């Protein structure tokens, strides 16, 4: 819970995520799409939480 997402460090892990996605999907193209979508969602969630002042989803 106490970990934060640092966009500057995303590149440190993308190769590992891509390899895992390749193993899961069996397709390099599908793996690239999966990793890209996952990173986009993670960054969007980070921005949403920053906008809401750190409140988690569903809290008032």
The 10s digit of each residue's pLDDT in 13-45 is 889 999 999 999 999 999 999 999 998 998 888
In a domain, 57, yes or no: no
Residue 41 covered by a domain: yes
Show the domain range for 30.
12-50
25 is a domain residue: yes
In a domain, 5, yes or no: no
More confident site: 5 or 46:
46
Flag whether 18 is in a domain.
Answer: yes
Contacts of residue 35, Cβ cutoff 8 Å, sequence gap at least 6: 14, 17, 18, 21
Q: pTM to 2 decimals? A: 0.66
Q: Give residue 46's pLDDT.
A: 75
Report the number of distinct structural domains present in the chain. Answer: 1
Answer whether residue 56 is part of any domain: no
The verdict on residue 28 lying in a domain is yes
């Amino acid at each position: 819970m106490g970990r934060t997402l640092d966009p500057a460090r995303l590149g440190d892990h993308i190769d590992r995520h891509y390899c895992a996605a390749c193993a899961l999907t069996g397709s390099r193209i599908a793996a690239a799409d999966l990793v890209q979508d996952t990173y986009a969602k993670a960054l969007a969630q980070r921005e949403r939480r920053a906008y809401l002042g750190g409140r988690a989803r569903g809290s008032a």
